[in-house]
């Protein structure tokens, strides 16, 4: 697993949806939108800010819970992923044959539906379980973390035990439960100097200063820290996370340079507003 994944896996997997839907090539000739046929709602207006047609259809489908938009997508795996998210129906995930989109489907639907047990159908459920609880931590929803979540995270491996330690710290909002593990400590408020030295994550990879600063921005709920991150993917992800998990402020999406991450940010806003 790439080194950024453990730190910001939730946002990375959302981006993976769009990478998968887009498939690396523009298909605007066959997927042009007829804008006049789309109702003028706030969520639809946000979806229409999405720059790539496949991603726009996905946004419209999920935000409106309307699988008809999914039919605009060409590949069956794309359609079933879109149908699962739009209909909130996990059975479509089971119909996906390709491993990567199948795992993404379970992952994203577990978040959207708040169904922790959907993670069980993944190849590596502990990773999904952990992302599920630390998203609640970022969103100040620690009171929703259940004991059973932390129990399921631990698989008696060194990684699983660290994940469990983090989960308990999130649940109780008690940094002492990190037991001085720096990876766990990084999810809580720390001085910026905490990021001066690289440190390891459970997979044996290293967290860079830029990735550490992303955690500082989220922990302190301070978007100005994003500006301290060198330009590129970590800074874009910082603004996206700040926008979708902390403040639900669409203006942060406009600060994102990467087109794919910016599309994701708009889509997350549309989905969030549709759920309100």
HEC profile of the chain: CCHHHHHHHHHHHHHHHHHHHHCCCCCCCCCCCCHHHCCCCHHHHHHCCCCCHHHHHHHHHHHHCCHHHHHHCCCHHHHHHHHHHHHCCCHHHHCCCCHHHHHHHHHHHHHHHCCHHHHHHCCCHHHHHHHHHHHHHHCCCHHHCCHHHHHHHCCCCHHHHHHHHHHHHHHHCCHHHHCCCHHHHCCCCCCHHHHHCCEECCCCCEECHHHHHHHHHHHHCCHHHHHHCCCCHHHHHHHHHHHHHHHCCHHHHHHCCCHHHHHHHHHHHHHHHHHC
Rounded to two decimals, the pTM is 0.82
Closest CA to 8 of 178, 205, 257, 263: 205
256 Cα distance to chain centroid: 16
Is the pLDDT reported for residue 14 higher than 80? no
pLDDT at 35: 59
Whole-number pLDDT of residue 88:
95
pLDDT bin (cut points 50, 70, 90) of residue 237 is: very high
Give tens-digit pLDDT for 154-211.
Answer: 777 888 888 899 999 999 999 999 998 888 999 999 999 999 988 877 766 788 889 8
Share of the chain above pLDDT 90, in %: 49
Q: With 60 as the cut, is the pLDDT of residue 236 above it?
A: yes
Q: Are 163 and 130 in contact (CB under 8 A)?
A: yes
pLDDT tens string 49-78: 998 888 899 999 999 999 999 998 888 988
Average pLDDT over residues 131-151: 90
Q: What is the pLDDT of residues 74-120, one digit of tens each?
A: 889 889 999 999 999 999 999 998 888 888 888 889 988 999 999 88
Distances (CA, A) of 21 to 88, 101, 109, 263, 264: 18, 9, 16, 12, 12
Least confident segment among 23-27, 146-150, 262-266:
23-27
**What is the per-residue pLDDT for 12?**
47
Which residues are within 8 A (CB) of 275 and not within 5 positions of it... i.e. 6 or more apart? none
pLDDT at 135 over 50: yes
Summary mean pLDDT of the chain: 84
The mean pLDDT value for 241-258 works out to: 91
């Amino acid at each position: 697993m790439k080194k950024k994944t453990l730190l910001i896996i939730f946002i990375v997997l959302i981006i993976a949806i769009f990478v998968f839907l887009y498939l690396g090539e523009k298909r605007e000739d066959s997927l042009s939108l007829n804008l006049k046929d789309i109702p003028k709602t706030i969520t639809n207006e946000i979806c229409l800010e999405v720059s790539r047609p496949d991603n726009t259809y996905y946004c419209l489908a999920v935000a409106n819970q309307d699988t008809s938009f999914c039919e605009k997508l060409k590949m069956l795996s794309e359609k079933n992923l879109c149908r699962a998210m739009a209909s909130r129906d996990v059975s479509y995930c089971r119909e996906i044959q390709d491993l990567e989109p199948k795992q993404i489907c379970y992952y994203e639907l577990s978040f959207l539906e708040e169904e922790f047990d959907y993670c069980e159908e993944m190849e590596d459920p502990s990773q999904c379980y952990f992302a599920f609880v630390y998203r609640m931590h970022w969103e100040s929803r620690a009171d929703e973390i259940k004991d059973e979540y932390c129990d399921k995270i631990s698989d008696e491996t060194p990684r699983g035990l660290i994940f469990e330690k983090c989960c308990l710290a999130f649940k109780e909002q008690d940094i002492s439960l990190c037991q001085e593990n720096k990876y766990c400590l990084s999810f809580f408020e720390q001085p910026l100097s905490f990021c001066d030295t690289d440190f390891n994550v459970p997979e044996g990879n290293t967290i860079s200063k830029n990735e550490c600063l992303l955690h500082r921005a989220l922990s302190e709920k301070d978007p100005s820290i994003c500006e301290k991150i060198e330009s590129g993917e970590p800074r874009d992800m910082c603004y996206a996370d700040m926008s979708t998990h902390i403040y639900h402020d669409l203006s942060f999406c406009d600060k994102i340079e990467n087109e794919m991450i910016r599309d994701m940010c708009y889509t997350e806003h549309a989905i969030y507003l549709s759920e309100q």
